[in-house]
Structure 1
């Protein structure tokens, strides 16, 4: 697992800032928050998700590194045709009305199984 300092360096690189002060301004957080993260040696998970979204990067990228990758940004919904299909839009509308996490768990499990099989 990478250290806090390594993750912070990559966040700065992606944000195209060099100092902690610039990073705080970019992330719109108080400087004391950054100091607390440094003292604890960890960025809170919720904040890491927010940072990834702001940088248009995946949390996995921030945690595991490789910011030199050519496939750096995550796909946004506008760039992913599967997320624009009528079937997916219908699913989202129905899920908003009737869905819950319990309903999603078997779907997620099935997709993970498909992912695992496709990598074999």
Structure 2
């Protein structure tokens, strides 16, 4: 069984979905209970995810400037950042859980993504 089954194209679909989710979900979940940073950090990260997706070397990009391996490195950085943000900004409750959940999902997607 192949463990890395997420193709670059499928990864791109996940990226665009995640980018939109990071922008919309904080408002639906009423993030910001601990700090407004919890809400706006997600929105800004969502915008950055969409921008990186538009620039990654895969089928769904507008301009293929970032190699797919570089994109995976950026995703890994996002996951590590999402794990740390609740500690850095003293988030608790839904604010912390939101970031830890997203970090876990990003770690999984990166670890299951096949390189080109």
**Fold equivalence (TM over 0.5):** no
Give TM-score scaled by structure 1 length.
0.26
Give TM-score scaled by structure 2 length.
0.26
Larger Rg: 1
